Amino acid sequence: MQEVMKNKAKELLASGEVRAVIGWKKGEFCYDITPAVFTNAEEIDNGFIYDDFCGANLSKYLIKEAHKDGKVLVFLKPCDTYSFNQLLSEHRINREKVYVVGVSCDGKVDIEKIKRTVGDGIIALSSDGDKISVETLYDKYEINRADALAERCVNCKSKKHVAYDELLGDEGEVLDSKRFDEVEMIENMTADERFEFWRNELSRCIRCNACRNVCPACSCEKCIFDNDNSGYVNKAPVTSFEENMFHIIRAFHVAGRCTDCGECSRVCPQGIPLHLLNRKFIKDINTLYGDYQAGEDPEARGPLTSYTEKDPEPSVVTDKE
Amino acid sequence: MQRIGVFVCHCGTNIAGTVDVKAVAEAMKYENGVVFSTDYQYMCSEAGQNIIKDAIKEHKLTGIVVCSCSPRMHEATFRKAAQSVGLNPYMVEIANIREQCSWIHKDMATGTEKAIILARTAVAKVHLNAPLTSGETPVVKRALVIGGGIAGIQTALDIADAGFPVDIVEKLPTIGGKMSQIDKTFPTLDCAACILTPKMVDAAQNENIKIYSYSEVSGVKGFVGNFEVTIKRKARFVDETKCTGCGLCTEKCPQKRVPNEFNLGMDQRRAIYIPFAQAVPKIATIDADYCTMLKTGKCGVCSKVCTAGAIDYTQKDEFITEKYGAIVVATGFNPIKLDKYDEYAYSQSKDVITSLEFERLTNAAGPTAGKLLRPSDGKHPHKIVFVQCVGSRDTRECGKSYCSKICCMYTAKHAMLTREKYPDTEVYVFYIDVRTPGKNFDEFYRRAVEEYGVHYIKGMVGKVIPEGDKLIVRASDLISNEQLTIDADLVVLAAAIEPDKTARPLATMLTASMDTNDFFTEAHPKLRPVESPTAGIFLSGACQGPKDIPETVAQASAAAAKVIGLLVKDKMKNNACVAHSDENMCNGCSNCAKVCAYNAISYVDKEFRMPDRTTRVRRVAVVNDAVCQGCGACTVTCPSGAMDLKGFSNKQIMAEVDAICK
Amino acid sequence: MQVNEFKPKIVAFCCNWCSYAGADLAGTNRLNYPADVKIIRVPCSCRVNPLFVLRAFQRGADGVIICGCHPGDCHYTTGNYYARRRMTLLFSMLDYLGIEKERTRVEWVSAAEGAKFAATMNDFVATVTKLGENKRLEDLRCKK
């Protein structure tokens, strides 16, 4: 697959169809794959990678790249295409300036899961079908790929690309995912347990803003939390309130727009399951206002910018047992 | 830093009875920014207002807080007082210490403590107030009425009588609308033409009214007070300025077999035609679909017989652009198509007709010259079955869930008139409910039953089966609980009415909202029934919901009154507390526009200088001050906080929150 | 006389057209409700940003209630429909985080419902008083 993608990128660069290619390249470590912009064949030959660790959602990079002259090629995995559509619907990307190549995806690997088994000091990784071979400074391991899949891939919601100009690999389908099970588990706790659970998670927040910076929906020109003039400026979680507020408001601001790409949880250095906040909103929206998948249809009206006269009253929340 | 004055009102004992007003005034002296604080018996009195005015001047106050009754009561009073001495009226805040404090608390300590907090909250807000000015936009003193039925005619006449020019755009060759097809009107039974045609003539002769017949609105730009409308004048191949309406061409035209839509296809007209004798404007129109000359280039009879030389086969559609201050929608209704109602055999038998067809059959100018004859064989029907609610109150896919409102009355009218003219005819009416609210309406219906012996049967008709020259009507009588079979000669279906098909694209052009049935939505269902939520768009007649003629005319005049109220102003003062978007923060995501009920937000591409000295074009929101009503829905939808509301800004509201919780 | 009896701080956001007028009517009819309730006038319930709700809790409010026109009666025709969705989701999220759901409420009060306004506030204050001080969303720096 990687070679096919490289050739496609080089072909379109050579023909002048695209000015640049957004893909992935190697980072500091072998598992540390990072988004990159390539502008010539040499860069692609030397750096372009597509492997089990290319989890990064490249759609957000288009906001900047697609502002420049000329077309940009972007490789999008199925879940990334939802973010792409959502950004289109919010006029953040000029569709004409993007050439979307959909790439099939059989799930990406969560390095933290591997580390839990092998410990630190990983120096080489290779995957072969169902197995992943890991070499550390101390030993060699073989791990079942299925056990190392990221949570969002275990609970993958769709293997279907909702937007592309060209597709490499096979097209998949929308899946019946169990992604709300964990939300439901938390809902079933008592209020005290929930409070404990979230204090335990959110108190670890160091406000590095990684979740915000990676999130395709969090792409405001200026974030209210950085804006001295907004009245809510808040740059460090000084108190438990601020830890809560940042995440509540961040989740609220993306509610109805979040496609559940799961990038927030992937990048959180503290391992806070932030997707559980976003999924709570998605689950509520689905139950209260009808199923809605952000990004599925760029023409659709979001659940928070629409209403019906028969919507349930807020008392469904405040009066429930 | 603001220089704030606080004025605490006793309101006699209304406030002073449970609030220690002196203590409140004293406490306020120590609030940040307060340079003057006092109390007085009645702040709203002239003497009280003078205290405020003097203090503003003497202490150079930049903002004031009046602790008094509800702002709904005297905010305007105090704003005016402030303005009279040069303080911006929006630098005035009211602390409601009467309705929301002294009147609900019995204990002096509690009342005083709360009054101090409320005053402090108002002071906190004033600190962040900014002088606001309402924008002004000039008003184009001309109105457009879309649709020339009775609703449009009435609205136009009323506006014109008030002295404003008004244009009517009518898609058909003549104004008059549905009412011109109706024979008699309930509950008085005067003939429709007798009361409608004089109005049509009035409209034509009124100096202030211009009628664009055979025309359609094809584009709308602008906003309240300043609309720019493009009108498509369809080619009628007759020079309107030359045609005298003599009608000779319509007699000589050799193409005789064109279904006559005015008589709902029950007879035929020529390819060049005047819809009916009293048409306004009385100008012939060539039907391009049937004209031999236009289709093959061979004929030209009309041109030869026209002594005025009005025929012009080369005429093309023409587009004109005109400016208007207000637009009235009066697009009216149509009966629904009955092809999905096969159980009534409408498409199988010519003798199953709609109520509007029945109107034409009984009209002296209709296809039978007013004699009630069966369309199939021209015989006089002796047994007639009327079926109500055909498609109305019908929750199936093909039907309308609403009540069409007019059918009960016109069916009673039809039944009564039939019995009066042809006493040998038996008349049955099948109904779900008989709904006859309205002045003299129920009396009218009872007369049909009691004096004219119409058989009203509660129940629905299940099937109509054409058999020989009879129509076998199978129905159930829900009251006697039996199945009935009637061998009728004529079946009349009271088809539901629906908005005209042109309404939906028009609504899009006007950015006016519609409900799921394509009826235009009113700005407020109870309090603003003739205005669309989109400022400057008004609603007249059945385009807003099913209506009979009296109601339509009433609404038409109401819409005219609203239009006159708008046009009489030279300039429109806009709401000062409007939303405003900070373009530096705006993402251009369009979410604010989606929740705006007034279409006040548009987007422009704007060039921004970037820190690295390059420029970038970004899409940003722009609020139209003239249209924004200041609800604030957009401010919460905006994730970046670019959108804020003047007078109720994020910072102001948070300052209030902080002051209350302090 | 009782001292140190817990007095909750309640912030009530009232829309200008219905609920604020309803609150005025409660006053006109001399219907009593606790002084713990302080009203902030907003043009419409849709003006209430979730941030305002959180801000109130941060600054020490023990309960926040939002009042607007009844659905279908909004002065701005649709504002309260958006408010209804926003607040439902926000309250559900607060509940999900283990914050007592009884501290937040939305109530539709028309300009004619003075009695309902007073009754609503009496009930809400009683509920919040029973819960006691807001501990889960407090900001210790804002405590005195």
pLDDT, tens digit only, all 144 positions of chain C: 455 688 999 999 999 988 999 999 999 999 999 999 999 999 999 999 999 999 999 999 999 999 999 998 888 888 999 999 999 999 999 999 999 999 999 999 988 888 999 999 999 999 999 999 998 988 878 765
For chain A, say whether C98 makes contact (Cβ under 8 Å): yes
**Domain residue extents for chain B:** 4-128, 235-316, 335-498, 579-646
Contact between chains at A313 and C88 (C-beta distance less than 8 A): yes
With a CB cutoff of 8 Å and minimum separation 6, the contacts of A297 are A85, A162
**Per-residue pLDDT at A313 exceeds 90:** yes
Give the ipTM: 0.96
Contact between chains at B657 and C32 (C-beta distance less than 8 A): no
Which residue would you say has higher pLDDT here, B48 or B610?
B48
List pLDDT tens digits, range B3-35.
Answer: 999 999 999 999 999 999 999 999 999 999 999
The per-residue pLDDT for B124 is: 96
Best residue in B100, B628, B635 for a mutation probing chain C (most C CBs within 10 Å): B100
**Per-residue pLDDT at A122 exceeds 80:** yes
d(CA A9, CA A3) in angstroms, rounded, equals 10
Output the average pLDDT for chain B. 94
**Per-residue pLDDT at A229 exceeds 90:** no
Residues in chain C closer than 8 A to B630 (CB atoms): 43
- Same CATH topology for B335-498 and B579-646: the answer is no
By Cβ distance, the residue of B523, B629, B658 closest to C59 is B658
A153 lies in some domain: no
By Cβ distance, the residue of B118, B635, B657 closest to C47 is B635
By Cβ distance, the residue of C46, C52, C75 closest to B657 is C52
Cβ–Cβ under 8 Å, residues B492 and B385: yes
By Cβ distance, the residue of B616, B639, B650 closest to A220 is B639
What confidence tier does B626 reach under pLDDT thresholds 50, 70, 90? confident
Residues in chain C closer than 8 A to A245 (CB atoms): 54, 58
DSSP H/E element including B617 = strand B615-623
The per-residue pLDDT for B356 is: 96
By Cβ distance, the residue of A91, A221, A223 closest to B590 is A91
Verify that A28 and A172 share a domain, yes or no: yes
Verify that A124 and A258 share a domain, yes or no: no
What confidence tier does B621 reach under pLDDT thresholds 50, 70, 90? very high
Verify that A78 and A131 share a domain, yes or no: no
Please state the rounded mean pLDDT for residues B229-250: 95
List pLDDT tens digits, range A230-255.
Answer: 777 778 888 888 888 999 999 999 99
What confidence tier does B213 reach under pLDDT thresholds 50, 70, 90? very high
Verify that A63 and A15 share a domain, yes or no: yes
With a CB cutoff of 8 Å and minimum separation 6, the contacts of B493 are B338, B341, B344, B346, B352, B353, B354, B355, B387, B390
* Shortest Cα–Cα distance, A117 to chain B (Å): 41
List pLDDT tens digits, range A43-93.
Answer: 999 999 998 899 999 999 999 888 888 899 999 999 999 999 999 999 999
Contact between chains at C86 and B70 (C-beta distance less than 8 A): no
Please state the rounded mean pLDDT for residues B79-90: 96
What confidence tier does A218 reach under pLDDT thresholds 50, 70, 90? very high
Number of domains chain A is built from: 3
Residue found by looking up tokens 């306020």 in the block = B28
**Per-residue pLDDT at B36 exceeds 60:** yes
Please state the rounded mean pLDDT for residues A171-195: 93
Verify that A283 and A140 share a domain, yes or no: no
Verify that A124 and A254 share a domain, yes or no: no
For chain A, say whether B619 makes contact (Cβ under 8 Å): yes
Give one DSSP letter per residue of A125-139, joined into a string. Answer: EEEETTEEEEEESS-
The CATH class that applies to domain B235-316 reads alpha beta
* Shortest Cα–Cα distance, A15 to chain B (Å): 27
* Shortest Cα–Cα distance, C1 to chain A (Å): 34
Q: How far is CA B142 from CA B156, B554, B566, B574, B588, in A?
A: 11, 22, 10, 20, 35
By Cβ distance, the residue of B118, B631, B661 closest to C76 is B631
Q: Which domains does chain C have, with CATH numbers?
A: 10-137 (3.40.50)
- Count of CB contacts below 8 A, B vs C? 134
Give the 3-state secondary structure of residue A218.
Answer: coil
Verify that A169 and A25 share a domain, yes or no: yes
Verify that A35 and A164 share a domain, yes or no: yes
State what percent of residues in chain B have pLDDT above 90: 89
Record the pTM.
Answer: 0.77
**Per-residue pLDDT at B609 exceeds 80:** yes
So what's the architecture of B579-646 in CATH? 2-Layer Sandwich (3.30)
Give the 3-state secondary structure of residue B294.
Answer: helix
Domain B335-498 fold is FAD/NAD(P)-binding domain (3.50.50)
Which residue would you say has higher pLDDT here, A125 or B431?
B431
Residue found by looking up tokens 């069966």 in the block = B374
A35 lies in some domain: yes
Verify that A19 and A53 share a domain, yes or no: yes
Residue found by looking up tokens 């690309």 in the block = A161
* Shortest Cα–Cα distance, B585 to chain C (Å): 18
Residue A124 belongs to domain spanning: 111-148
List pLDDT tens digits, range A246-281.
Answer: 999 999 999 999 999 999 999 999 999 999 999 999
Pairing type for strands B209-212 and B215-223 reads unpaired
For chain A, say whether C49 makes contact (Cβ under 8 Å): no
Rg of chain A on CA atoms, in Å = 20
Contact between chains at B111 and C35 (C-beta distance less than 8 A): yes
Please state the rounded mean pLDDT for residues B560-573: 94
d(CA A84, CA A57) in angstroms, rounded, equals 9
Which residue does chain B place closest to A302, by CA atoms?
Answer: B591
**Per-residue pLDDT at B381 exceeds 60:** yes
Verify that A320 and A184 share a domain, yes or no: yes
So what's the architecture of B4-128 in CATH? 3-Layer(aba) Sandwich (3.40)
* Shortest Cα–Cα distance, C77 to chain B (Å): 6
Of C107, C96, C105, the residue nearest C136 (C-alpha): C96
